[in-house]
Amino acid sequence: MSGPAAAMVLAAGLGTRMRPLTDRLPKPLIPVAGRPLIDRALDHVAAAGVPRAVVNLHYLAPMLRAHLAGRVAPQVAFSDETARLLDTGGGVRQALPMLGPVFFVLNSDAIWTGANPLATLAAAWAPGRMDALLLLVGRDRARTYTRAGDFHLGADGLPVRRGAAPTAAYVYTGAAIMTAAAFAHMPEGPFSLNLPWDRLLATGRLAAVVHPGVWVDVGTPDGIAAAETALAS
Amino acid sequence: MTDGARVFAVPPGVAYAPAFVAGWQARFGALDPLDRARSLILVNSRRSQAALEAALAAAGLGLLPRLVPIDAGLEDQDLAPAIDPLRRQLWLTRLVGAYLSRTDTAAPPAAAADLAEALARLLDQVQEEGVGLARLSTLAPDSLAGHWQRTVAFLDILREAWPAILAGEGALDPAARAHAAVAARVATWAADPPRHPVVVAGSTGSRPGTARLIAAAARLPQGAVVLPGFDPDLPAEIWDSVGPDHPMHPFKRLLTALDMVPRDVALWHGAASSPARARLWAEALRPAPVTDAWIAAADGLGAAAPEATAGISLIEATSPRHEAAAIALAMRQGLEVPGQRVALVTPDATLARRVTVELARFGIVPDDSLGRPLLQSPAGVFWHLVAEAAEPDADAVKLAALFAHPLACPGTTRAEHLRHARAYERAVLRRGPTRGLAPWPPDTAERVTPPEAVAWRAAVATALAGLTAAQGSGLSARLAAHLAAAEAMSTPPGEAPQVWAGADGTALAQALARVIQAAPALGDAPVADYPGLMRACLADQTLRPEPGRAHPRVAIRGPREGRIEGADLVILGGLNEGTWPAAPGTDPWLSRPMRRSLGLEAPEALIGLSAHDFLLGAMTPAVILTRSLRAEGTPQIAARWWVRLVTLLQGVAPDALAAMRARGQGFHDLVARLHLPQASVPRAPRPAPCPPVAARPRQLSVTEVERLIRDAYDIYAKRVLRLRPLDPLGRAPEARDRGQVIHAILHRFVTVTTPDWPDDATARTLLLDITDQVLAETVAWPDLRRLWRGRVRRFAAFLIEGERQRRAEGRPAALETAGAIILDAPAGPFTLTARADRIDDLGGGTAAIFDYKSAAPPSAKQIGLFAQQLHLQGVILDRGGFAEIPGLRAHSGAYIGLSGVGSSTTVADLGPEVALAAERLARLIADFDDPQTPYLAWGRAEKVGDVGDYDHLSRRAEWQGDAE
């Protein structure tokens, strides 16, 4: 199995939803139950046995850089977006020279409990069937999540966009495996990860697996309290 | 014209994109803007789409119509996806491999990949024609030769197995999918014809599926087809006899389906560019038989030739390098015209790369759509070297190549890595043949391997171990191990693996992601030739130059891209048979009659497409045709179109032909001027260093004295500069080793027979037994043991005959014995040393000195001049320098040559000559004790062919030929 040897941790967001907490602190450094979000994300990476991580930087970049300076497991490299925010897809594309052919993509603003999200992904990764594998969670297990959901799961296990439906049963948790090939022929500059996913959806090469634990979107100050509760239980 | 099918043409020589836009504007410009935006233009490729979009936007038409590549235009159909071509290739490789291993065929297992590629092409063709593999069973096997029967049997298996595999994949063959999509689209159009304009642009309709779609589009209420490079004025008699290799053949299928002839096709916009040029090419490329038609047309053609050929130049270069240089000069000159765009059109990627290099002379980076092969980029080369170095029997060259690659740094800094790699190369890789990553040699008193170096080798071993261990695994596991090895071999401390850094690394990662995806299709069986398979998987990946660096008016394009993207000056390069047109590939799966009975096109149809590409370029008002007379030392045959043009013009307008050649020759002559040096560079002088006497050696061996006479520079480099030549990587056994082995055999043989010389037969048996013993002890290579044993057998009779005489005259007294004497010299005592092969006691205080040669012995003429070994050993002997045998004097001697059947040169009067040699030696030493005496390089070279270890250091090639 050609499992990923590197992880892309998305940490460049402005954190506007988290104001005022993020006025002086980049969102990934906000502590939840005493441990900063970015460290929690990197802990998952290390626990899954992935040796390398790439963290992209934009907002308050020097603080993040200094915070991660001493980290050895995983080994951390930085992808600098201080000149220009590249959005999720553009951020990954810029970091491709550090990632290799197959890699994890992980948001730094979510809390997963239960099984290691990366281990769940790695176990379900089947080269030949997919160019991206998304970790989803049932809406009922997504804490502080109030939006409509992102995907249905078809009978064949393949994800389908919510589309015009009022709600969808599954939410993207911010963890995925992707291949470098998924980023061929992408536009210059910023673009969302939704762009490569939509292309893969059209050819049946986007797959999904469901996270068996609980997931908390720490996008807002309320989310932190919910996350701390989830971690305590 | 039937059922109102609307077929238009942009004739050859008219730039397609602007003409298309002008015609579009004339016909649909008056439409309501929203209707205009609703209309659909289907184009032949993504590149054409971009070119037409740019042209439409430049025309300022406001809302643009939808431009969609034909393939993508069918994507909205509800069909299963097409299988990834690489994945299909691996599936087929697996099936063919299984077939080859089960049947008794001539093809080796490694041929599976190539056969699978041909099979994939066959599947495409069969499905494009809509034939289906089922028709194969209609081939009557009995009428076929045995090997064709076997392939039909295999294709039968494929017919049953392949659909099941595709069903498991949930995918369709690309051609079958396209076929189905076209059928569905045609049906939709028939049921509910779109009201908005539908125009097909840039496609010739040469492929069956496309032809069906185009034919349907041409009959839509607002449908139209705009053929690229089609000439409606083509005479009917030519059209009727157009064969598969004619430039208009690609249109034949479409027009026949529409029941049309050329004159039914209307011009889309404006007029043809040059009727005279069009007429010339139509005649030149007329289908055979041609000559009678040429004779009939001669007068008209001759009169029009100056006009028709005015813009054409012919360059016939002496070599591909010259061709590239001439092209680059023509491109550079073309840029002098303000705003003029120049393009090289060629299918030859090597020529394109050469021209790119030549253009660098002018600081021009062309927009090269052919690109550079990924496998030749640094990351691609590194990837391949890692695979080769991890093979269990990797030789020294492969390891050294990996270590020297700029990306290599296995967990250390690059500088550290290079330091250890160079030490390892000297200590291990240049010490003898190695297999795999041999350990450092054991520590000795003089040489201790530092712990960092040991750790470095361990890091390399760890990096490669996984891949080496994966030898017996399937492709997926092997790839995973290969990725890990490449990353570990290229990771400096605390950084990301360098193999993915850079544009080539990213492209490699993307290509490998595809291979990883496709790999499971090959199954878990061990891969026979993993590096070869890897190369095949990545072979068609190319790297485009970085956007923004390319010159906006200089392009290099493949022939097909020239169809839509024109230029003001077009250069058609590489016009030799085999290059352009490419040789039609043979189909290993079906014979020509079998193909015909399945309704498949002849392989020459590809030549027709090439001819069409060529014609489009050749009709450009300003065009240069180039070819090279030779390539890699082999004479080349000009492209058939070139031959036709030249033959025709030779007959009807030799002056026009001469003018075309003269225009091209101008560029070719300039090439020589490019390489003229601006100032004459003086020859390097023959080195004659004069080091101070204190730095000169105070001891030389007898062989070194000989060397000093011939090539003093050798002694200077070795004894003053103290430089030693490096052994080659993975040193193979050579003459020096053979000499040592033969000396060892002789030593043992003479030792054993000294007390008692046996009869000849016993001596011979003894000699051969000893030979076997020595070879077994000292030579590791079985093939060499047999070879060298054969050599000993050849000279055995000669040796034994001579030995019998020598024993009659004397008795071996000392073998391989060391001697030394100290001589008085102007700069102080000087030591002469020697190791004598053998000295025999002749009785009466006299001795004979023998020297064994594993090559031919020196001739009588050479002895005393160049060959002084025996004489100098005699000097040492006479002065009691051989401690083992004091008190003997030199009497005679011989060089015993042990090559071929054997021969020897005797020096009967060695005794008296020794005194002379001693005088000469004293003079030589005195000379070199003078600081004015230079160590001249090859001062007394005996033959021009003599080579020395330090010739490169003395820059011999630069001064040789100097007057003595």
Tens-place pLDDT, residues B850-865: 999 988 888 888 887 7
Find residues 173-192 of chain A whose CB sits inside 8 Å of chain B: 179-184
Please check the confidence at residue B2 and state whether its pLDDT lies above 50: no
With H, G, I as helix, E, B as strand and everything else as coil, classify residue B549. Answer: coil
- pLDDT-based confidence at B140, cuts 50/70/90? low
CB contact under 8 A, A183 and B505: no
The highest-confidence range among A187-196, B107-116, B333-342, by mean pLDDT, is: B333-342
B235 cis-preceded (ω within 30 degrees of 0): no
Lay out the sheet containing B622-628: strands in order across: B312-317, B622-628, B569-572, B342-345, B554-557, B367-368
Measured at the CA of A37, the angle between CA A33 and CA A39, to 5 degrees, comes to 100
Q: Copy the structure tokens of residue B829.
A: 């005592």
Helices (H) and strands (E) in chain B, counts: 34, 22
Please check the confidence at residue B141 and state whether its pLDDT lies above 70: no
Listed in sequence order, the DSSP H helices in B858-938 are 869-878, 910-928
With H, G, I as helix, E, B as strand and everything else as coil, classify residue A48. Answer: coil
CB contact under 8 A, B517 and A5: no
DSSP one-letter code for B590: -
pTM of the predicted protein model: 0.81
User: What's the mean per-residue pLDDT of chain A?
Assistant: 87
When mean pLDDT is compared across B114-123, B514-523, B732-741, the lowest value belongs to: B732-741
What span, in angstroms and rounded, lies between the C-alpha atoms of B534 and B295? 56
Q: Copy the structure tokens of residue A26.
A: 């980049």
Residue B620 CA to chain centroid, in angstroms?
34
Q: What is the 3-state secondary structure (H, E, C) of A12-43?
A: CCCCHHHCCCCCCCCHHHCEECCEEHHHHHHH
Phi, psi of B505 (to 5 degrees): -65, -40
**Does the beta carbon of A203 lie under 8 angstroms from any beta carbon of chain B?**
yes
Distance from CA of A93 to the nearest CA of B (A): 9
Question: Which residue, among B498, B512, B533, B343, has the nearest Cα to B406 in the 3D structure?
Answer: B498
What span, in angstroms and rounded, lies between the C-alpha atoms of B308 and B639? 20
**Does the beta carbon of A97 lie under 8 angstroms from any beta carbon of chain B?**
yes
pLDDT at B931: 93
Q: Looking at beta carbons, which residues of chain B come within 8 Å of A5? A: 483-484, 487
What span, in angstroms and rounded, lies between the C-alpha atoms of B453 and B424? 8
Please check the confidence at residue B678 and state whether its pLDDT lies above 90: no
Distance from CA of B959 to the nearest CA of A (A): 49
CB contact under 8 A, A97 and B513: no
Distance from CA of A38 to the nearest CA of B (A): 19
- The b/e string for B337-362 (b: 16+ C-beta within 10 A; e otherwise) is eeeebbbbbbbbbebbbbbbebbeee
Distance from CA of B399 to the nearest CA of A (A): 24
Q: For tokens 């994800």, what's the residue?
A: A159
Q: How far is CA B817 from CA B705, B876, B894, in A?
A: 18, 12, 17
Residues B601-657: tens digit of each pLDDT: 877 888 999 999 999 999 999 999 999 999 888 999 999 999 999 999 999 999 999
pLDDT at B815: 92
When mean pLDDT is compared across B172-181, B711-720, B787-796, B868-877, the lowest value belongs to: B172-181
Residues of chain B in Cβ contact (below 8 Å) with chain A:
75, 81, 87, 170, 476-477, 479-480, 483-484, 487, 494-497, 499-502, 505-506, 509-514, 516-521
Partner-chain residue, chosen from B81, B497, B509, that has the shortest CB–CB distance to A180: B509
CB contact under 8 A, B506 and A96: yes
Rg (chain A; Cα; Å): 17
Residues A44-90: tens digit of each pLDDT: 999 999 989 999 988 778 888 889 888 888 889 899 888 888 889 99
Comparing alpha-carbon positions, the chain B residue that sits nearest to A183 is B510
Q: For tokens 């570990």, what's the residue?
A: B488
Give me the sign of the Cα torsion angle B710, B711, B712, B715: negative
CB contact under 8 A, B513 and A1: no
Comparing alpha-carbon positions, the chain B residue that sits nearest to A2 is B480
Distance from CA of A184 to the nearest CA of B (A): 7
Q: Looking at beta carbons, which residues of chain A come within 8 Å of B494? A: 75
Question: Which residue, among B125, B97, B82, B105, has the nearest Cα to B585 in the 3D structure?
Answer: B125
With H, G, I as helix, E, B as strand and everything else as coil, classify residue B253. Answer: helix
Please check the confidence at residue B65 and state whether its pLDDT lies above 70: yes
What span, in angstroms and rounded, lies between the C-alpha atoms of B460 and B457? 5
Contacts of B83 (CB under 8 A, 6+ apart): B166, B169, B171, B172, B173, B174
- Return the number of other C-beta atoms located less than 10 Å from residue B713's C-beta: 28
Distance from CA of B33 to the nearest CA of A (A): 28
Q: Are strands B198-201 and B223-228 parallel, antiparallel or unpaired?
A: parallel
- Return the number of other C-beta atoms located less than 10 Å from residue B536's C-beta: 18
Distance from CA of A97 to the nearest CA of B (A): 4
Judge if ipTM > 0.85.
no
User: What's the mean per-residue pLDDT of chain B?
Assistant: 88
Contacts of B833 (CB under 8 A, 6+ apart): B699, B700, B701, B702, B818, B819, B820
What span, in angstroms and rounded, lies between the C-alpha atoms of B69 and B375? 29
pLDDT at A1: 42
- Return the number of other C-beta atoms located less than 10 Å from residue B41's C-beta: 25
Q: For tokens 């690309």, what's the residue?
A: B174
Please check the confidence at residue B559 and state whether its pLDDT lies above 50: yes
Do the beta carbons of residue A122 and residue A49 sit within 8 Å?
Answer: no
What span, in angstroms and rounded, lies between the C-alpha atoms of A210 and A133? 10
- pLDDT-based confidence at B106, cuts 50/70/90? low
Contacts 24+ apart (CB under 8 A), B444-452: B452/B416, B452/B420
pLDDT at B333: 94
- Return the number of other C-beta atoms located less than 10 Å from residue B666's C-beta: 15
Distance from CA of A53 to the nearest CA of B (A): 9
Partner-chain residue, chosen from A77, A126, A128, that has the shortest CB–CB distance to B518: A128
Overall average pLDDT of the B874-893 stretch: 92
Partner-chain residue, chosen from B75, B516, B520, that has the shortest CB–CB distance to A101: B516
Cite the beta strand spans of B598-737 per DSSP E: 622-628, 630-631, 634-635, 699-701
% chain A with pLDDT above 70: 95
Please check the confidence at residue A2 and state whether its pLDDT lies above 60: no
% chain B with pLDDT above 90: 47
Do the beta carbons of residue A152 and residue A159 sit within 8 Å?
Answer: yes
- pLDDT-based confidence at B745, cuts 50/70/90? very high
Distance from CA of B214 to the nearest CA of A (A): 26
pLDDT at B876: 95
**Does the beta carbon of A157 lie under 8 angstroms from any beta carbon of chain B?**
no
What span, in angstroms and rounded, lies between the C-alpha atoms of B173 and B1? 36
Q: Looking at beta carbons, which residues of chain A come within 8 Å of B479? A: 2
- pLDDT-based confidence at B218, cuts 50/70/90? very high
- pLDDT-based confidence at B963, cuts 50/70/90? very low
Q: What is the 3-state secondary structure (H, E, C) of B419-471?
A: HHHHHHHHHHHCCCCCCCCCCCCCCCCCCCCCHHHHHHHHHHHHHHHHHHHHH
Beta bridge pairs of residue A103? A178
Question: Which residue, among A13, A77, A8, has the nearest Cα to A45 in the 3D structure?
Answer: A8
Return the half-sphere exposure (C-beta side, CA atoms, 13 A cut-off) of residue B51.
Answer: 21
Please check the confidence at residue A193 and state whether its pLDDT lies above 70: yes
Q: Copy the structure tokens of residue B720.
A: 């003053």
Q: Looking at beta carbons, which residues of chain B come within 8 Å of A157? A: none
Residues B926-941: tens digit of each pLDDT: 999 999 999 998 888 7
With H, G, I as helix, E, B as strand and everything else as coil, classify residue A8. Answer: strand
What span, in angstroms and rounded, lies between the C-alpha atoms of A138 and B32? 49
Q: Looking at beta carbons, which residues of chain A come within 8 Å of B512? A: 101, 180
Beta bridge pairs of residue A171? A137
Which of B74, B510, B546 is the best residue to mutate to test the A interface, defined by the most A CB atoms within 10 Å of its own CB?
B510
Find residues 35-54 of chain A whose CB sits inside 8 Å of chain B: 52, 54
How many beta-carbon pairs below 8 A join chains A and B?
Answer: 87
pLDDT at B772: 93
CB contact under 8 A, A203 and B506: no
Partner-chain residue, chosen from A2, A204, A205, that has the shortest CB–CB distance to B483: A2
Helices (H) and strands (E) in chain A, counts: 6, 14
Question: Which residue, among B819, B846, B836, B820, has the nearest Cα to B909 in the 3D structure?
Answer: B846
Partner-chain residue, chosen from A127, A180, A202, that has the shortest CB–CB distance to B510: A180
Comparing alpha-carbon positions, the chain B residue that sits nearest to A128 is B517
Q: Looking at beta carbons, which residues of chain A come within 8 Å of B505? A: 97
With H, G, I as helix, E, B as strand and everything else as coil, classify residue B563. Answer: helix
Overall average pLDDT of the B298-308 stretch: 89
Please check the confidence at residue B961 and state whether its pLDDT lies above 70: no
CB contact under 8 A, A128 and B521: yes
pLDDT at B957: 85
Phi, psi of B41 (to 5 degrees): -115, 120
Please check the confidence at residue A13 and state whether its pLDDT lies above 70: yes
Pick left, alpha or beta for residue A33 (phi over 0 → left; psi -120 to 50 → alpha; otherwise beta). Answer: left
Please check the confidence at residue B1 and state whether its pLDDT lies above 60: no
Please check the confidence at residue B703 and state whether its pLDDT lies above 60: yes
The highest-confidence range among B190-199, B541-550, B673-682, B955-964, by mean pLDDT, is: B190-199
For chain A, the residue count is 233
pLDDT at B91: 92
Distance from CA of A150 to the nearest CA of B (A): 23
Comparing alpha-carbon positions, the chain B residue that sits nearest to A156 is B170
CB contact under 8 A, A181 and B510: yes
Single-letter code of the amino acid located at A215: W
Contacts of B191 (CB under 8 A, 6+ apart): none
Residues B708-730: tens digit of each pLDDT: 988 999 999 999 999 988 888 87
CB contact under 8 A, B496 and A97: yes
Do the beta carbons of residue A41 and residue A138 sit within 8 Å?
Answer: no
